Amino acid sequence: MSQSDLIFIGPPGAGKGTQAKRLCEKLGVPQVSTGDMLREARAAESELGKRVAEVMERGGLVSDEIVIGLVEERLARADAAKGFVLDGFPRTIPQAEALDKLLRRLGRSVKHVVLLEVPDALIVERITGRRTGETTGRIYHLKYDPPPFPDRGEGGERLLQRSDDVEETVVNRLATYAAQTAPLVAYYADKGLLRRVDGVGSLDEVSARLFAAVGV
């Protein structure tokens, strides 16, 4: 049985990616982000990338079949043997059931499901201020974690804004979360795995709460 199989859920813009990364560094396990994998497929203009572009642009969900396949492949890689942090997966009940099945088959199980909670009122500001370093993938926020320049990160790398991080799409992403992902809260609470973490505050404050919630 692995010691550190964790899941992050929470609305878009709650800070899942940033906090999952910090937790992974502390635990020495890989961060498995379906959103990052799908964005990479789009950047590479692969068949998969082309298939998912439209639904991502409008803030909908890619099919369960596609993301389950990605996660299955990713968790089979050697670096996931000692643990992983899933960020942005599962996002639907069928995905959660598929994950349960996969982990059972691998003889492992989820230890904690972190629910990063941020009120809707803060989300639009968080998301529209988000910028990502082109080469390092480092995530900044223009107000809460400002880069050295509005359009350049550390080392001078160019900063990009995700195409789905615009206000019109954020509204759809929040609706998608409420309809399809929020039911996972009860699903994991029933299993005794849910750890609620208040995602409001500085990055370090949130990390401290997170580490305490998962006992690291």
Residues 6+ apart with CB under 8 A from 178: none
The yes-or-no answer on residue 130 being catalytic is: yes
The residues binding ligand AMP (CB under 6 A) are 12, 34-35, 38, 55-56, 59-62, 67, 88-89, 91, 95, 164, 173
Closer to ligand AMP by Cβ: residue 3 or 101:
101
User: CB within 8 A of 48, min separation 6: which ones?
Assistant: 38, 41, 66
Q: What are the residues whose beta carbons fall under 8 Å from the beta carbon of 166, sequence distance 6 or more? A: 128
Q: Which residue has the tokens 């992983």?
A: 84
Quote the least distance from Cβ 130 to ligand AMP, whole Å: 10
User: Considering the complex, what minimum distance in angstroms separates the CB of residue 143 from ligand AMP?
Assistant: 20
| CB of residue 63 to ligand AMP, shortest distance in Å | 7
Nearest to ligand AMP of 91, 209 (CB atom): 91
Identify the active-site residue in 126, 131, 173, 195: 173
Is 16 among the residues known to form the active site?
yes
Find all residues with CB under 8 Å of 216, minimum gap 6, and list them: 23, 26, 27
By C-beta, is 19 or 34 nearer to ligand AMP?
34
User: Is 39 one of the catalytic residues?
Assistant: no
- Please identify, using beta-carbon distances, which residue of 137 and 156 lies nearer to ligand AMP: 137
| Known catalytic residue at 77 | no
Q: Give me the catalytic one of 51, 82, 152, 162.
A: 162
Look up 191 and say whether it is catalytic.
no
Residue 178 DSSP symbol: I
For residues 156-186, one letter each, b for 16 or more C-beta atoms within 10 angstroms of the residue's C-beta and e for the rest, the string is ebebeeeebbeeebbeebbebbeebbeebbe
Which residue is closest to ligand AMP by CB?
Answer: 35
Direct distance between the N- and C-terminal alpha carbons of the chain, in angstroms, rounded to an integer:
18
- Residues designated as active site: 16, 91, 130, 162, 173
